[in-house]
Amino acid sequence: MASFYGIGVGPGDSELLTVKAVETIKKLDILYTPQAHRGSKSVAEKIAAPYLPADLTIKKRHFPMVNDWDTKMKSWREIAAEIKNDVQDGQNVGFLTLGDPSVYSTFSYIADMLMQEIDVQTIAGISSFSQIAASQSIPLMLDEESLEIVPATADEEKLAKIIDLNDNVVIMKIATNFKKVFQILQARNLLEKTIVVENASMPTQRVKKLSDYSADDQLPYFTTALLKKREGK
């Protein structure tokens, strides 16, 4: 039976794909790769490139990066319908996602549209925050500590509350609202306790403390912050 696979390719380093992800890619007939901008090659496709079979059919599809929900849903439904037809024609179909498919991934919306129609399987990937913790040899949490993952796009009150209530906080998509995040953490004297990683595991990776930035700095899109309030490991 043919299936639709959501495949996590990790945060950037091609060597961070799991064995299961690589083996799944090898048995695909068709691979869908998301494009934020028409005509460009997706970051996920570049990461997976060393493992893509020469005879694999690759379908690049544009996913609009807009705030309008109706526009996004229209695009997702059209792509989901195409994927459904491919699988029902007996093709194994894959969809690449950065990091892990279960963490802020467009795949989740596509999968939800198709689960009642075709077989859907999710292949876990290494998340950016897991790789960041590993690269710095620091734990995300210990003993009774709490950890919460939040996008910087959350409203200011919610973001501040999460920061106040948790021992460890991962702030994703920080580049989209960097000034807001910076000011919230600055007001709590937490800049020194926050690690910022640009382009995790990529050749352009850069690791700094939030205190090394100013509120008006422009960060790369793939930037994640990790706040650890407690000292030590």
- Taking CB atoms within 8 Å and a gap of at least 24, the contacts of 176-183 are 176/151, 176/152, 177/152, 177/153, 178/152, 178/213, 178/215, 178/217, 178/218, 178/219, 179/215, 179/216, 180/152, 180/156, 181/152, 181/225, 182/210, 182/213, 182/214, 182/215, 183/215
Q: How many CA atoms lie within 13 A of 212 on its CB side?
A: 10
Query: Do residues 55 and 115 share a domain?
Result: yes
Domain boundary, last residue among 86, 110, 126: 126
User: What is the count of structural domains for the chain?
Assistant: 2
Q: How confident is the model at residue 36 (pLDDT cuts 50, 70, 90)?
A: low
Question: 206 or 64: whose pLDDT is higher?
Answer: 206
- Under 8 Å CB-to-CB from 101, ≥6 apart: which residues? 6, 7, 8, 107, 108, 122, 123, 124, 125
Domain boundary, last residue among 106, 126, 146: 126
Query: Do residues 71 and 134 share a domain?
Result: no
Supply 168's token pair. 């460890």
Strand 30-35 to strand 93-97: parallel, antiparallel, or no bridges (unpaired)?
parallel
Query: Do residues 155 and 110 share a domain?
Result: no
Query: Given a cut of 80, is residue 13 above it in pLDDT?
Result: yes
Domain boundary, last residue among 126, 154, 173: 126
When pLDDT is averaged across residues 201-205 and rounded to a whole number, the result is 93
In CATH, what number is assigned to the domain containing residue 70? 3.40.1010.10
Q: How confident is the model at residue 233 (pLDDT cuts 50, 70, 90)?
A: very low
Query: Do residues 158 and 133 share a domain?
Result: yes
Query: Do residues 140 and 212 share a domain?
Result: yes
Predicted pLDDT at 40: 65
Residue 12 lies in a domain: yes
Query: Do residues 11 and 100 share a domain?
Result: yes
Q: pLDDT of 131-151, one tens digit each? A: 999 999 999 999 999 999 999
CA 97 to chain centre: 7
Q: pLDDT of 182-191, one tens digit each? A: 999 999 999 9
Residue 65 lies in a domain: yes
Query: Do residues 135 and 118 share a domain?
Result: no
* DSSP 3-state percent helix, strand, coil across the chain (nearest 5): 35, 25, 40
In CATH, what number is assigned to the domain containing residue 203? 3.30.950.10
Q: Does the pTM exceed 0.75?
A: yes
Strand 194-198 to strand 206-209: parallel, antiparallel, or no bridges (unpaired)?
antiparallel
Structural domain boundaries, residue 91 = 4-126
Residue 233 lies in a domain: no
Query: Do residues 107 and 144 share a domain?
Result: no
Residue 197 lies in a domain: yes
When pLDDT is averaged across residues 45-64 and rounded to a whole number, the result is 93
Residue 174 lies in a domain: yes
Residue 189 lies in a domain: yes
Query: Given a cut of 80, is residue 125 above it in pLDDT?
Result: yes
Query: Do residues 63 and 111 share a domain?
Result: yes
Query: Do residues 15 and 115 share a domain?
Result: yes
Query: Do residues 75 and 107 share a domain?
Result: yes
Query: Do residues 97 and 164 share a domain?
Result: no
What does the mean pLDDT of the chain come to?
Answer: 93
Predicted pLDDT at 72: 86
